[in-house]
Amino acid sequence: MTAVILLAHGSPDPRSSEATHALAATLESRTFGTTVRAAFIQHDEPNLTTAVTDLTAEGHDDIIVVPAFLSGATHVKRDVPAAVDATESATGLTLHVTDPIGPDGMLLAALDRLLPSGPAVLATAGSTDPESQRSLSRIAATWAEQRQAPVIVAYASQAEPDVATAARLLEEHSTEAAVVGSFVLFPGVLPDRIAEGAGERAVSAPLYSALETVMLIESRIANAMRRVA
């Protein structure tokens, strides 16, 4: 039997793990009986090895791992492969790892649904990885084209500009107030920092409960199941 693990980074903020488990439960309810569990790289339990061990004890012999990240930065490049390698060594199973959830233009529809029109900040958790920053810039350019309005990427940590600075830059060249699209999956310290930087401006909530997020993960799972079959 096939099961799915939603592998998140984890956070000291309990809201993050609660939201991760809630997303896993939503996915399980929509995948025709396929078991979906959450696991974490750090801070929260279970880790990937424990989650896989529990699933194999329940009779699952094919495990699909979906990295719950919105960029291909260090966590996806280093931490996810390390967790997968450690788990495969410990369990003897070969895990089937999908692409991370994002960045993906499908999620822009969720931001547009949650926000009014006008210039926008694409607010991310933050990364110093140049490839990740370039991919976020491409997503911002796509969003700007869709909105027919300027979009600037901003970061809650590790890079510049921050959200407040990016919003002010947009407003220097517009008569409209900027809005802030929170391009993060789960609530926590960094999403709170994004909301604080937005001030009185409209800001969207983390994307874990958006229908577009659920549908995007379902497509990742479906593609992996075809490979497993």
Residue 76 has what pLDDT? 86
| pLDDT of 228 above 90 | no
Q: What is the mean pLDDT of residues 186-198?
A: 96
| pLDDT of 72 above 70 | no
Averaged confidence pLDDT in the chain: 94
Domain 2-101+209-228 has CATH 2.60.40.10: no
| pLDDT of 208 above 90 | yes
Compute how many other C-beta atoms are within 10 angstroms of the C-beta atom of residue 188.
Answer: 22
Q: Please indicate whether residue 184 or residue 133 has the higher confidence score (pLDDT).
A: 184
Answer CATH for 105-207 from 3.40.50.1100, 3.40.50.2300, 3.40.50.1400, 3.40.980.10: 3.40.50.1400
Burial letters for 194-220: b for 16+ Cβ neighbours within 10 Å, e otherwise?
bbebbeebebbebbbebebbbebbeeb
The rounded distance, in Å, linking the Cα atoms of 114 and 138 is 21
What are the boundaries of each domain within the chain? Answer: 2-101+209-228, 105-207
Residue 32 has what pLDDT? 65
CATH topology agreement for domains 2-101+209-228 and 105-207: yes
Query: Which of 90-94, 173-177, 213-217 is predicted with the least confidence, judged by mean pLDDT?
Result: 173-177
Compute how many other C-beta atoms are within 10 angstroms of the C-beta atom of residue 85.
Answer: 11
Residue 128 has what pLDDT? 81
Residue with tokens 């874990």: 208
From residue 164, alpha-carbon distances to 122, 123, 134, 183 in Å are: 12, 10, 21, 15
